[in-house]
Structure 1
Amino acid sequence: MTRSRIIGAFFVLLLALPIPAQISLERLDLDAIYRIKDEGLNRSQVMETLSYLTDVYGPRLTGSPQIKAAAEWTKKKLMEWELANVNLESWGPFGRGWSNEQFNARAISADTSFQLIAYPKAWTPGTDGTIGADVVTAVINNDQDFEKFRGQVRGKFVMITAMRDVPAEFQAPGRRLTEEDLTNLSNQPIQTARGDGAGQRGGPGGGRGNNPQNFNQRRLKFFLDEGVIATIEAGQGSGGTVFVQGGGGRNTTDPAVPAQVVLAVEHYGRIWRMLEKKIPVRIEMNIQNKFYDDDLNSFNIVGEIPGTDRADELVMLGAHFDSWHSGTGATDNAAGSAVMLEAIRILKATHLKMRRTVRLGLWTGEEQGLLGSRAYVTQHFADRADMTLKPEHAKFAGYFNVDNGTGAIRGVYLQGNEAAAPVFQAWMQPFKNLGMTTLAIRNTGGTDHLSFDAVGLPGFQFIQDPVEYGSRTHHSNMDVYERIQAPDMMKNAVIVASFVYLTANRDEKLPRKPLPAAQK
């Protein structure tokens, strides 16, 4: 019998065993886990690392000077920890960089004035210094509305969204996953059949017209052609929390857009109601934004701990390094980056021997569509467009990702990888006292493990307590250091370091799903 047939027969036999029996076959190095816990819980540096990424360097928008400075600091830190092959690996093109250099805004009427909580959208232009002008409303919801406001908005600040209700927050914004939540996550999801009628999510009736994005572009062009100073929209969130992303293109060939500002809903509402009462309101605003065209490429931060007898095989841990710009990118995703940096520091500090090479990857361009991790996977493993595999693909053991905020790790999303379940079930045993108990067979999206999964590599995102991620911090001005939970960060780094260590020393690489079809 050939070696491949022997191995195949072994896996058939293994899969025929009951899951408890498969779990018992997984070897746990409890001495190594003790050392990882001791280093990570008693001598942690994770919050110091986080403070540098957030407090010192601030928001890390891909292409900005801030992300480049933060990357240089991270590279230096990895070299201090004596990692090998530390590098800023270029990919691209990404497009122009952008940063907000200065912003202030004030509303003024005959009887009062007040400072505004507001932020410019990324990749939008600024103003020519401080400009004072009247505020008007121009809510355009369809093509017929354009003519209503033609010739009415030149030289004005224009409020472009209708004022919405702001209900009281009767539920706390922060929460942990309950046992019921975890049980529901662990259940196999059933996809019910859907029709394709208009008005369903994703159907042709799901937005303003058949193409909401195209309509928004035409609306922005209208305001630009009409000569507005800036558009102003009410932010999602309340209580001073403002969610802000991008508003313009990264490429010089993209259509020009006007200056765009997102205003805290409470301040938006105050101005809106004053205008309803026919009370004139002026705004004085200074927006200084800067584009960077000198280098259209971006980079991923990499560094590794070489393995021993299986050094040509690879285990990876990673997180996206970039953020949006209104906060300091603490929960999204300095938290994940700091956890991964701490995990690899722990592995280095404990001097644990690992058979496979362990490589850290911190990705840029995630917020624009997983761009950095996809470029890395294409460069090293496979292009999902044609699924032509590179030699490194066969040598890959597994990838672990953190990108759901500061919350404690409660388990692993398996991405449909049934064969990984008994492996991770065994590995979770030493961490049940840290709250890690759950495996979810379901997929979770929106972050960088998908780049690996898309080419048939075992990539996993951890299940985390939401804390305030979806309710307060994700892409908002409140995504700052103070929203981070230090005990959770310490526990997360310990769990990640342990899973990476166990993967690096396992006799076999982690199980894989069948290769996916090309995604042309």
Structure 2
Amino acid sequence: MGILVSELINMNIMKTNKLLTALLLLLSLTFSIAQTSKDVVDKIVAEANNNSQLEVLAHELMDVVGPRLVGTPQMKKASDWAIATYKKWGIEARMEEYGTWRGWERGITHVDLVYPRVVSLSGMQLAWSPSTGKKGITADLIIIPEVTDSIAFQKWLPNVKGKIVLVSMNQPTGRPDYNWEEFATPESFEKMKKDRDALEEAWSSRMKKTGFTSRTINKELEKAGAIGIVQSRWSNGFGANKIFSADTKKIPVVDLSLEDYGLLYRMTENGDNPKIKVVAESKELGKVPTFNTIAEIKGTELPDEYVILSAHFDSWDGATGATDNGTGTITMMEAARILKKVYPNPKRTILIGNWGSEEQGLNGSRAFVEDHPEIVAGIQAVFNQDNGTGRVVNISGQGFLHAYDYIGRWLNSVPEDITKHIETNFPGTPGGGGSDYASFVAAGAPAFSLSSLSWSYWNYTWHTNLDTYDKIVFDDVRNNAILTAIMAYEASEDASKTSREKSVLPINSRTGEQRTWPEPRSPERNGGVDEK
């Protein structure tokens, strides 16, 4: 009997030892995982700060490749550069065609006042504007008149034949409001705003009476025999103008700086009979492929689940597209580079989407969503950045009911000096447009906009002639690369698949009706044909 008791005691001791060993192993494993997660985050931060490639990427993309208007050779050059850069880092990349676009290439633009004096003017041809040829065109100027109605305008229209038409309002001041507010007397500032409002109302009435809008009148002037059009879309900042497309088939359209446009307008209005010469040497290239540039770090455990780093690659071409969306592009590229170096074998696949033709209606991301339902079904999260060079200051749950649970977990790993700037809004409401995350949200995939601090984005760089390398704030972009890389790492490693459950959307205060989830929309796959 004593032997049996002894054996029982030994057996209990052995069981206790095994249990203790198992507990110690579990604790050790838990500690190891925690340490590994912290180690990876620390390595991400160190790599971003000590070996940043952002300045190099920005120089190569903005300075050397330049603007990336859809349908231009520069867009193809940008894709070739990105693919080569990804492959240099050991990341597989490809160009993925989804349609065609009107091919066009910007050439030299010269605009000169040649009478009553000679002045070289600051201006540029608009996107997809017809060429003047090397000899250019020289002509008198005429202003859209004040008419009683559209019938009177039609009677006036023959006056544009052989002339260059001024189609924008003459701005009363080239000083932004903040400059007036700083230096003017309160009375003078208020008077300027009142006078400007009156001018804008009068110009709006003038345009309305023609029967056309600023978007449709160019075609009518072209049909009536005008040989060129000059506009000035001031962006309410010193030297900043919005640069978009021409909307003509045969005659050139140029945008002039506020200062030079005002000069021509005043001369024309006062009967000084100004004459200008326009040389705009663009090229038509027929239909060309339009595409996305895709890179991938394949997942090791869940390769069919995806964390997507998202930014549109294209831009308007008034400048070099530095903050729209060069900074978003290099943020995602830098995050991918860092992850490949410190986290080369992710749990889930990390996919980098450099989307094409966002500026014409989110076409690249919409095509990707439409063409890859299997990837959309496996999305863990999409992180999109597309509103300037500033540090991220806002993240919305986009209407996903449980977004706080997983976004909150991932943000918890991000250093406090980054998260202290960020406000969150959960569950939020789904974005119906604005940038590429909306294409994924419409398909029910958890996609989030990493919304940035302004840095005067809307006035000075968004779609303007000033959107250049020198406007990039690299400390803020580095901040965003670190944030993106850590959130992508945490999303990849998360033990749970993200929830797609949608919240009950609030009432639209404008319409009084309940908001509905946005519907997926198909991309334009044969673009620019209406511009030709």
For residues 418-445 of structure 1, what are the alpha-carbon distances to aligned partners after superposition, in whole Å with 9 as ceiling and x for unaligned? Answer: 3111322333343331244311224454
Match of 1:247 in 2: 246
- 1:138, distance to aligned residue in structure 2 (A): 2.1
Structure 1 distance, partners of 2:152, 2:388, is 41
Of residues 405, 419, 422, the one that matches 1:437 is 422
2:315 counterpart of 1:330: no
Structure 2 distance, partners of 1:27, 1:439, is 25
For residues 300-331 of structure 1, what are the alpha-carbon distances to aligned partners after superposition, in whole Å with 9 as ceiling and x for unaligned? Answer: 11111111111221111110000001100100
Structure 2 distance, partners of 1:346, 1:407, is 20
Is this contact kept in 2: 1:47–1:338, CA < 8 A? no
Tell me the secondary structure at the aligned position of residue 92 of structure 1.
strand
Match of 1:42 in 2: 50
Using a 3 Å threshold, how does the CA distance of structure 1 residues 265 and 40 change in structure 2: closer, same or farther? same
Of residues 121, 124, 134, the one that matches 1:119 is 124
Using a 3 Å threshold, how does the CA distance of structure 1 residues 217 and 344 change in structure 2: closer, same or farther? closer
2:184 counterpart of 1:222: no
Match of 1:190 in 2: none
* Structure showing greater Rg: 2
Tell me the secondary structure at the aligned position of residue 475 of structure 1.
coil
Structure 2 distance, partners of 1:206, 1:380, is 48
Match of 1:321 in 2: 313
Is this contact kept in 1: 2:111–2:123, CA < 8 A? yes
Tell me the secondary structure at the aligned position of residue 466 of structure 2.
coil
Using a 3 Å threshold, how does the CA distance of structure 1 residues 154 and 501 change in structure 2: closer, same or farther? same
2:79 counterpart of 1:71: yes
- 1:358, distance to aligned residue in structure 2 (A): 0.5
Match of 1:503 in 2: 491
Tell me the secondary structure at the aligned position of residue 353 of structure 2.
strand
For 1:65-464, list aligned pairs within 5 A. Answer: 65-84=73-92, 86-93=93-100, 95-110=101-116, 112-128=117-133, 129-139=135-145, 143-166=150-173, 168-171=175-178, 215=213, 219-237=217-235, 238-248=237-247, 256=249, 258-295=251-288, 297-381=289-373, 391-429=374-412, 430-434=414-418, 435-440=420-425, 441-444=428-431, 445-464=433-452
Is this contact kept in 2: 1:117–1:240, CA < 8 A? no
For residues 187-206 of structure 1, what are the alpha-carbon distances to aligned partners after superposition, in whole Å with 9 as ceiling and x for unaligned? Answer: xxxxxxxxxxxxxxxxxx99
Tell me the secondary structure at the aligned position of residue 96 of structure 1.
strand
Amino acid at match of 2:106: N
Is this contact kept in 2: 1:314–1:356, CA < 8 A? yes
Tell me the secondary structure at the aligned position of residue 278 of structure 1.
coil
Structure 1 distance, partners of 2:146, 2:209, is 16
Root mean square deviation of aligned Cα: 2.7
Structure 2 distance, partners of 1:211, 1:87, is 49
Query: Which protein is richer in helix relative to its size?
Result: 2
Using a 3 Å threshold, how does the CA distance of structure 1 residues 437 and 276 change in structure 2: closer, same or farther? closer
Structure 1 distance, partners of 2:499, 2:206, is 42
Tell me the secondary structure at the aligned position of residue 51 of structure 1.
helix
Is this contact kept in 2: 1:450–1:459, CA < 8 A? yes
Structure 2 distance, partners of 1:121, 1:473, is 17
- 1:247, distance to aligned residue in structure 2 (A): 2.3
Tell me the secondary structure at the aligned position of residue 477 of structure 2.
helix
Is this contact kept in 2: 1:35–1:350, CA < 8 A? yes
Tell me the secondary structure at the aligned position of residue 293 of structure 1.
strand
Tell me the secondary structure at the aligned position of residue 291 of structure 1.
strand
Amino acid at match of 1:314: Y
Structure 2 distance, partners of 1:401, 1:235, is 29
Is this contact kept in 1: 2:439–2:520, CA < 8 A? no
- 1:404, distance to aligned residue in structure 2 (A): 0.7
Structure 2 distance, partners of 1:458, 1:116, is 49
Runs of 4+ aligned residues of structure 1 deviating over 4 Å after TM superposition are: 139-142, 205-212, 214-218, 515-520
Amino acid at match of 2:424: L
Structure 2 distance, partners of 1:491, 1:172, is 31
Percent of pairs with identical residues: 30
Match of 2:476 in 1: 488
Using a 3 Å threshold, how does the CA distance of structure 1 residues 308 and 335 change in structure 2: closer, same or farther? same
Is this contact kept in 2: 1:140–1:219, CA < 8 A? no
Structure 2 distance, partners of 1:448, 1:172, is 35
Instruction: With the length of structure 1 as denominator, give the TM-score of the two structures.
Output: 0.80
- 1:217, distance to aligned residue in structure 2 (A): 6.3
Is this contact kept in 1: 2:174–2:238, CA < 8 A? no
Give 5+ residue unaligned stretches, structure 1.
1-25, 174-204, 249-254, 382-390
Tell me the secondary structure at the aligned position of residue 151 of structure 1.
helix
For residues 230-268 of structure 1, what are the alpha-carbon distances to aligned partners after superposition, in whole Å with 9 as ceiling and x for unaligned? Answer: 1111222253212111123xxxxxx73532111111111
2:457 counterpart of 1:469: yes
For residues 432-464 of structure 1, what are the alpha-carbon distances to aligned partners after superposition, in whole Å with 9 as ceiling and x for unaligned? Answer: 312443112244541000000011001110121
Match of 2:14 in 1: none
Using a 3 Å threshold, how does the CA distance of structure 1 residues 369 and 81 change in structure 2: closer, same or farther? same
Using a 3 Å threshold, how does the CA distance of structure 1 residues 351 and 162 change in structure 2: closer, same or farther? closer
Structure 2 distance, partners of 1:115, 1:235, is 19
Is this contact kept in 2: 1:32–1:352, CA < 8 A? no
Structure 1 distance, partners of 2:387, 2:409, is 24
Larger RCO, structure (CA 8 Å, separation 6 or more) = 1
Amino acid at match of 1:270: L
Using a 3 Å threshold, how does the CA distance of structure 1 residues 511 and 77 change in structure 2: closer, same or farther? same
Using a 3 Å threshold, how does the CA distance of structure 1 residues 139 and 509 change in structure 2: closer, same or farther? farther
Match of 1:202 in 2: none
| More displaced stretch, 275-284 vs 475-484 | 275-284
Structure 1 distance, partners of 2:404, 2:270, is 62
- 1:283, distance to aligned residue in structure 2 (A): 0.4
Instruction: With the length of structure 2 as denominator, give the TM-score of the two structures.
Output: 0.78
Aligned residues: 444
Structure 1 distance, partners of 2:282, 2:164, is 17
Using a 3 Å threshold, how does the CA distance of structure 1 residues 210 and 43 change in structure 2: closer, same or farther? farther
